[in-house]
Structure 1
Amino acid sequence: RTLLTAAGRDRGLGTEAVRLIVGHGFERLGLHRISLEVFAFNPRARRVYEKVGFVAEGVLRQVLRDGGDWVDATVMSILAPEWAAHRGRPERRGS
């Protein structure tokens, strides 16, 4: 989990932190796959993961009780060959 205060938001710090962690996993530890779950009430986090290259795989329905409501989680992953192709910047791919 990456947590930033209000002063740290909208500056790309969370995105860069995720890039560094994922890069370490693939480039230093030799991992093949990194996966995570992101809750539906956290669209900012999901956007960060997408910007780094994570792909949504599916939804775990109603996995968390939040007050009186049930919340879904999206399972996301990124593979080593995908990381090697864009190094956490898929939007720059091919440019």
Structure 2
Amino acid sequence: WSAKQKSRLIESLLMNIPLPIFYMDGSRMPWKIIDGLQRLTVLDEFMNKNLFALSDLQYQFDIEGLYFNDLPFSYQRKIRTFVIEAYVINPG
């Protein structure tokens, strides 16, 4: 994804816009991601690896150019506690 797309995904979390449901293959451990790998990768890159700063935001201009660690604590908490819905698909 482009930096713009990644940033807008993070912005949507901060605006409480639900993400599409993730799908996992539960036939063996560890689970494999069927749908949602790119979205999970973006979250990992932003929160854990600090690989990109937010850019080209549509609504929350006050956090433009910030990395996860630079965000106000309330925004960090909102991202950390965002609920991700996932379905695990098991055989049969």
Q: Which has the higher contact order (CA 8 A, sep 6+)?
A: 2
Kindly indicate which of the two structures has a greater share of residues assigned to strand.
1
Query: Structure 2 length as normaliser, TM-score?
Result: 0.29
TM-score, normalized by length of structure 1?
A: 0.28
